[in-house]
Homo-oligomer: A and B are copies of this chain.
């Protein structure tokens, strides 16, 4: 298992090309947030915007539209129950994030199936939270595409059938192979199962044990994959690493870290990583 270091940040977060425009950095469509869990999709969208995705649209319950725009005018809104609009936004995206706050009732399932029906194989899709639970419960298969699951251990148990106590790297890898997807298994020292390699996060802090932390990670992964689409796996790894690196930094002065603080810290953090990467580049004549 390869331990992640901040090298992954320098590898991924490069100076933006001078002639770039919004489209250069991808279109993210996020789907989730029923009338109870609107905060989850708002936190995910905030992460995607602050990570630097070019265009971000949120398909969510209409009761969340006001709170979304109050906090994040940079994101667009669509009613998640408008099947046609969701379908066309999924089709138009380069990366889709589905699950944060989606819920697990009949409407949630209907929305999830609609998303799955319109994904194309060249797209990236992050499947998180209740979307994973729904897939396991309803025996849904993920559509074609570059699929990234971000389960915590219980969600992974549901999806893979491996009980938490039995979740060894070997078994996890076998399950991942069957799914043919990238799996970000969120836990103390999160593990990322990719096609050819397993990676481990060795940083992080218990100050991150706060509701919404996973929604924020899902949005960051979506944002990074959209923006740094040249290498989606590295983008995933960088997002996972950055999430905990920022949290550790905040936790030096805080007993807990609020998820939205990580997102809001992203633009400054990413600039530092870009610059540090540049200096290293120059310094070592590499």
Contact = CB atoms under 8 A, between A and B. Distances in A.
Most chain-B CB neighbours within 10 Å: which of A19, A36, A152, A257? A36
Contacts of A17: 206
Contacts of A15: 206
A206 B65 CA distance: 29
A169 interface: no
A75 B271 contact: no
A143 interface: no
Contact of A19 (B66, B68, B188, B255): B188
Contacts of A55: 211
Interface stretch (A38-46, A114-122, A123-131): A38-46
A34 to B, nearest CB: 10
B73 A71 contact: yes
A54 interface: yes
A106 interface: no
A77 interface: yes
> Could you say how many copies of this chain the assembly holds?
4
Interface in A138-175: 152
Nearest to A67: B69
Given A69-B39, A76-B36, A211-B55, A258 B50 contact: yes
A197 interface: no
A257 B26 CA distance: 16
Contacts of A212: 73-74
Contact of A74 (B66, B252, B258): B258
Interface in A178-224: 188, 206-207, 209-213
B74 A18 contact: no
A72 interface: yes
B39 A72 contact: yes
A21 B76 CA distance: 32
A241 interface: no
B256 A268 contact: no
A224 B238 CA distance: 34
Q: What 9 A-B pairs come out closest when comparing CB atoms?
A: A39-B73, A255-B270, A16-B206, A67-B69, A254-B267, A70-B70, A66-B66, A52-B256, A74-B212
